[in-house]
Amino acid sequence: MLVSVEGRANMSLPKFIVGMMFALAIVIGWSYFNGASPGTIVLRAVICAVIIQAGYFLLVFAMIGRATPTSAGKAREADRGAILNKAAEGEKLSARRGLH
């Protein structure tokens, strides 16, 4: 499992896709140089892809399961803080929006 500096699991979709492509290329290359038929190569690649996808799903499921729930009040305060930070950077806060 990948672990970031903070100690939490960290697996983004681009990392997953690149890793999956490398794993499939290794399985296909191994099958080809082993003398497997094209049907066997495709079958091995599909099985490998399904196993990798299931592993990614389980990793994301475990990450969601371990995440601590955030109360609505904390989420609202975090949103307000983000809005105030944008306003501090020079963004106007108004209810009126122009089309220009």
Confidence class for position 5, pLDDT limits 50, 70, 90: very low
62: Cα separation from own chain's centroid: 13
Torsion (CA) 89, 91, 94, 98 in degrees, nearest 10: 180
Query: How far does Cα 56 stand from its chain's mean position?
Result: 9
Cα distance between residue 5 and residue 21, in whole Å:
26
Q: Is the pTM of this model over 0.75?
A: no
Q: How far apart are CA 41 and CA 35, in angstroms?
A: 9
* Residue 11 binned pLDDT confidence (cut-offs 50, 70, 90): low
Q: What is the Cα–Cα distance from 87 to 62, expressed in whole angstroms?
A: 37
> Which pLDDT tens digit goes with each residue over 38-96?
999 999 999 999 999 898 899 888 888 887 777 776 767 766 666 655 555 555 556 66
